[in-house]
Every structure is written in structure tokens, then in C-alpha cells.
Chains A and B, each alone.
Chain A
Amino acid sequence: MSTFRSIVFSSVIAGFIVGLLVTVAQQFGTVPLILKAEVFEKATETHQHEAVPQPAAAGHDHASPEHAGHDHASHDHGAEAWEPRDGFERNAYTAAANVLTAIGFALLLAGFFAVRSGATGERVSWHEGLMWGLAGFAVFTIAPGLGLAPELPGVPAAPLVSRQIWWTAAALATAAGLALIVFRRSVPAAIAGVILLILPHLIGAPELAQVETNVPSSLTHQFVTAVTVTSLVFWSSLGAVTSAIFARFDHGVDARV
């Protein structure tokens, strides 16, 4: 099996296992809080969007086109885009998105495992994989989360694109900083690494001057904890499972020796 194929194959398997595991964890952790916050979000939306509810309300007078109309495409112009129905359909899409996210991050991890095992001549053990997973937790959850706390629906935040740029930059700088500290064992590299870890937070994440929301702050705090813990489950299991499966399917190391 070529390296690329064994990376993809093991990432897909690991992604399904970890994605489904995390979907279960989210059902107990984050999803109930999101649903609670949406109650507050919808309460404010009906106050704020003066123009939007009018056509929808008018539509309901005409025998409710949402249920009766078959050509949704023509009705949906200017109205809300498709979204999954609450309940099973919504959770099914959540599970699918979780599996895809896990496959994506597993591809990233397994890519590192392939480079690593190619350089050392030894397979990456599940234990080393677990530590790579924890590095992923630091890079993709802790670092961006310090500046941009996990958001609940209904809590206003700075413009989306600016937050996405800062989030990506924080993850990149943290990854580079950690790599400098772990793989270059010299004092200047360590100092540069620590500076890279701190830099995104010195620049600061985009923030609104004023945040007005009726989502209670206790709910927001619970959500931060829930996100961080489910993410820890995600990254530690993804690191260990991906490395264990990749070691099984990767024959490139044997061939080299």
C-alpha cells in the first residue's frame, strides 16, 4: 500500500470511530447547552429582525408553503437557507460533520506520523500518537479558545471573517511555536517558540466593544467547560486511535529497513 493510501485508509477508519464517539459525548456535553441558548437567540431574533418575519408570516396565511409547497427553490429566494429539522435529522448531520472533521484532522495527524516514522525508521506508537493528539488539542482548542472563547448561539461577536483569520493565525503560530520547542532543542529556538505561542494573544482576538445578550453567563461558562472537555476526548482519542491504525497499515517503514 502506498503511503498516501495507508494514510487515507487509516484516517477514514479512525475518523468514523472518533467522530461517532465524540457525537455521543456532545449529546451529553455541548448540544443541550446549544439548544438552551437557541431559545434565547430566537427570542431576540423576533425582536431584532423587523423585516424578515413579515414575509414568513404572510406565507403562513397562504396555507403554509413550508409544508404544502413542492418547489422550495423558488420560495427560498431571499428567505432562510435550508437547515436540518430538529431531532434525528439535525443530529445525523452533526454526526456526519463530526466524522468528516475527525477524518480531516486524522489525515493531518497521520501525515505527521508518516513523516516521523519515515525519519526515525520506527512506527509511531499509540502513546506517541496520544501526545500528538494532545498537541492538536493545544493548537486547535486551547490557543484559539483563549482569545475567542467557545461561542453559544445568540451571543454577538466580532465579524466572522476577522475571527476566522485570527483563529487560523493563532493555531498556526501555536503549532510552529510547539514544533520549535519540541524538535529544536536549543535555547534560541525555545525562546522563539515561546514568543510564537504568546504572539497571537499579544495581538489580541477581534472583539466587540459592547456585547449585549440575554444568554445567561452561567450558560456560557458551562459551555466553555463542555467544549473543552469534549474536545479533549476528541483529540486524545484521535491521536491514539489514528496512530494505532496507521501503524497497522503502514508498510513503508518495514520496506525501508
Chain B
Amino acid sequence: MSQSQLSNAQVTHFPVAAGQVGRLSQALMAMVLGLFVVGVVGFSHIDVVHNAAHDVRHSNAFPCH
């Protein structure tokens, strides 16, 4: 509860436009991070990563081997 009040207070200090730009860039950052995680688990050529995630790569129809 206190956290949500705090964030509301913080956000209202910014003009709407600046808040929107911040929201877009933060969303993009999260999406790049997500693709990076998927890339390592599903596409890395490192043998150990491949062997650990082997069944998942096949089950998700990622190219494997």
C-alpha cells in the first residue's frame, strides 16, 4: 500500500509527456531483456547451455543440434 502511494506521488511530479517517454523506454528495456533471456536459453551455442535446455529447445521447436 505505502509503495503504491509513493509511486503515485513520484509520478505526479513529472509532466505527462515525460512520464510517457519513460514508460516506453522502460517497456523497451524489459522487452530487450526478455529476448536476451530467450536467446540464451533457446539459441546459445554453448554446449552446457544446449544440454541443460535440450528438451525445452525441442519442445519449443527451436532449431537444435
- In terms of DSSP, what is the predominant structure of the interface of chain A? helix
Interface string of B25-46 (1 = CB under 8 A from A): 0111111011111100111010
Q: Which of B33, B52, B59 contacts A93 (CB 8 A)?
A: B52
Nearest A residue to B53, CB-CB: A97
Q: Which of A3-11, A123-131, A210-218 contacts B (4 or more CB under 8 A)?
A: A3-11
How many contacts between A and B, using CB within 8 angstroms?
A: 165
Cα A98 to Cα B34 with chains together (Å): 13
Complex A-B: 23 CB contacts under 8 Å: A4-B29, A8-B33, A83-B48, A90-B55, A94-B55, A97-B41, A101-B41, A103-B34, A107-B31, A107-B37, A108-B34, A108-B38, A111-B28, A118-B23, A141-B61, A160-B65, A227-B58, A227-B59, A230-B59, A234-B60, A252-B23, A255-B8, A256-B19
CA distance A231 to B62 in the complex (A): 12
**A64 partner residues in chain B, CB cutoff 8 A:** none
Flag whether A148 is at the interface (Cβ < 8 A). yes
Chain B contact surface mostly:
helix
Having A83-B51, A227-B60, one finds 11 other A-B pairs with CB under 8 Å, namely: A26-B56, A31-B55, A83-B54, A94-B56, A104-B37, A108-B38, A115-B27, A140-B60, A144-B61, A145-B61, A230-B59
Q: Which residues of A contact B (CB under 8 A)?
A: 1-4, 7-8, 11, 26, 29-31, 34, 81-84, 90, 93-94, 96-98, 100-101, 103-108, 110-112, 114-115, 118, 140-141, 144-145, 148-153, 157, 160, 163-164, 167, 227, 230-231, 234, 251-252, 254-256
Closest CB in chain B relative to A3 CB, distance in Å? 4
A1 and B27 form a contact (CB under 8 A): no
Give Cα A255–Cα B10 distance, bound, in whole angstroms.
Answer: 9
Please measure, in the bound complex, the distance between the C-alpha atom of A245 and the C-alpha atom of B33, giving whole angstroms: 19
A231/B60 contact (C-beta < 8 A), A81-B48, A114-B23, A252-B11 known:
yes
Is the beta-carbon distance between B7 and A101 smaller than 8 angstroms?
A: no
B26 with A2: CB separation less than 8 A: yes
Which of A3, A105, A106, A163 is close to B26, meaning CB atoms less than 8 Å apart? A3
Shortest CB–CB separation between residue A173 and chain B, in angstroms? 16
* Contact across chains for B61 and A227 when beta carbons are under 8 A apart: yes
Partner of B8, one of A115, A234, A251: A251
